[in-house]
Amino acid sequence: MAGDSQWERMVRGLEYDPGDPHLQRLRQRALELCLRLNILSERPSPEYLSLCRELLGSIGEGSVICANFFCDYGLNIRLGAGCYINYSCVFLDCAPITLGEGVLVGPQCGLYTAIHPLESEARSRGIETAKPITLGDRVWLGGGVTILPGVEIGERTVVGAGSVVTRSLPAGVLAMGNPCRVVRSLE
């Protein structure tokens, strides 16, 4: 791991140490900003918009994040214009999380990029990897949807409430279940 910072390794999908002091400081920063944002949520104001810009990698015009939003770093989250993140969502952004324009995220959704080793010995060493998550324009996630690392969801796709998305989904479909599967086309 010599030569690369743990941050660089993390966002590139390589093994990294989440216990790295710099990563710990960045997570603490995100927590403090989330707590402040959650107090102001649903009250778009100059302070609210300033906090969103400070927390996130980028946020498009007209996007809203409701209260009880939490993330690992925030810096790896990019929201297109007109996104709506409903109540009590968690985005674990060890790798980039990108939402296109007009994405609707229902309450209690979780987008998780972190991957822990399956082998207990490797897991006990605390080393992780991460894979990005990408949601295309006008995707709608129903309440309680879980998106796992490495998933891409094509534009206009709707994911039914309570689904666990373990694999990428094409554009323009209705998908649901655990594990999530395409039910039908929306074209």
Domain boundaries, the chain: 6-185
- Quick one: pLDDT band at residue 1, thresholds 50, 70, 90? very low
8-state DSSP, 16 = B
Hey, what amino acid is at 13?
A: G
Site of tokens 């960045």: 26
Query: What is the set of active-site residues?
Result: 116
Q: What is the pLDDT of residues 112-121, one digit of tens each?
A: 999 999 999 9
Among the listed residues 112, 144, 145, 109, the one whose alpha carbon sits nearest the alpha carbon of residue 129: 112
- Residue 17, burial from CB neighbour count under 10 angstroms (0-12, 13-18, 19+): middle
Helix, strand and coil content of the chain, in percent to the nearest 5, comes to: 20, 25, 50
What's the pTM?
A: 0.95
pLDDT at 42: 55
- Quick one: pLDDT band at residue 36, thresholds 50, 70, 90? very high
Task: Tell me the helices (H) and strands (E) count for the chain, helix number first.
Answer: 4, 19
Hey, what amino acid is at 76?
A: N
CATH class of 6-185: mainly beta
pLDDT at 45: 81
8-state DSSP, 72 = S
Among the listed residues 132, 123, 138, the one whose alpha carbon sits nearest the alpha carbon of residue 152: 132
Hey, what amino acid is at 9?
A: R
